[in-house]
Amino acid sequence: MNNAYAAGLWVFAQSAEKFGGYTATATVRQQIQLAASVPGLKGLELISPLHVTLQNAREVKGWLEDAGIQPVSVNPYVWTEPAWKRGAFTSPDPAVRQQAIDRGKEAIEIGHILGTRRMCLWPGEDGWDYHFQADYRALWDREADGVRQLAEFDPETRIGVEYKHHEPRTHMLIGSAAKAALLGCELGLPNVGGYLDFGHALVAKENPSESVVLLSRLDRLVGVHVNDNYGQGDDDIMVGSVHPWETVEFLLTLDEVGYDGWLTLDLVPTREDVVAACAHSIRALDAYQSLVRNLDREALRQAQREMDAVEAQRLIHELLVRA
């Protein structure tokens, strides 16, 4: 496996938590330069209009080129703003839904200028908080209609819906790999699928590796975010810091299904030096990928065919000892 490493540009913005920030706010150009200083980092996901707009897209493209950074995706900002309080694509207000769709279309157009045909769509306000609050059929219909309009706007742009179980809503509408896959299959459009965030899968009580298989067997795996957490909330901490073995299995499974896309760091280094946190995560990924390359896969497959847990664990632990 030889996946290239990217990061979300938001990783290099002000590091903050609900109680405040700990580092100085940087301009978009400074954030790009900071990202370029991370050894091994080759790409960036950007959010429109936070990082880039139609008006400054060519200027931002120049900044990326000067830094030697490739654009991975342009993702529309459809959360936390007052307009999205009752939902973005699922808002009961048709004007708000149209605003979300227009913002998504603009992100696609910006992607054309930057040179990417990929979108990570996180519908962070689409969901519900209380029982009896929502008409679930209406929510699903609206979500599907909004995503369909974006997908049909440019069939060459792959749209991955980044699923998340909860936060900021108590229940997100697209809260699992299965729901992201279902949305793509229901629409019947080949450019719609799921964006798999390792940490989101953990919070949803999924096995991230199984989620890889589910999405990829339907050709719905659009992109991947890597990070870690303690399984309760979206901590976005350094790769492998809590679930190293799950991360190794995740990378193995990505390789087994033939995923050759970006591995994008989605971290929130609240108190840590952002360049050091990203560099450590990339070193961890390199080390884990080396383990994957050195694994006796045929022996592991034989153990898996027989559902032999002892032999499978022996092979993995032997790999660790050799490393």
Question: Quick check: is 178 in a domain?
Answer: yes
CA distance 97 to 91: 6
Give 67's DSSP letter: H
* 89 within a domain of the structure (yes/no): yes
Is there a domain that residue 305 lies in? Answer: no
Within-domain flag for 309: no
Residue-wise pLDDT for 66-103, tens only, equals 999 999 999 999 999 999 999 999 999 999 999 999 99
CATH of the domain at 21: 3.20.20.150
Q: Is position 301 within any domain?
A: no
Is the preceding omega at residue 82 within 30 degrees of 0, hence cis? no
Question: What value does the mean pLDDT take over residues 256-278?
Answer: 96
For 300-316, the pLDDT digits (tens) are 999 999 999 999 999 99
- CB under 8 Å to 309, separation ≥6 — which residues? none
Domain count, the chain: 1
CA distance 33 to 148: 35
Q: pLDDT per residue over 145-200, tens digit each? A: 999 999 999 999 999 999 999 999 999 999 999 999 999 999 999 999 999 999 99
- Asked, for residue 200, whether it belongs to a domain, the answer is yes
Residue 23's domain comprises: 5-294
Has residue 201 been placed in a domain?
Answer: yes
pLDDT tier for residue 14 given thresholds of 50, 70 and 90: low
In a domain, 320, yes or no: no
The average pLDDT across 260-280 equals 96
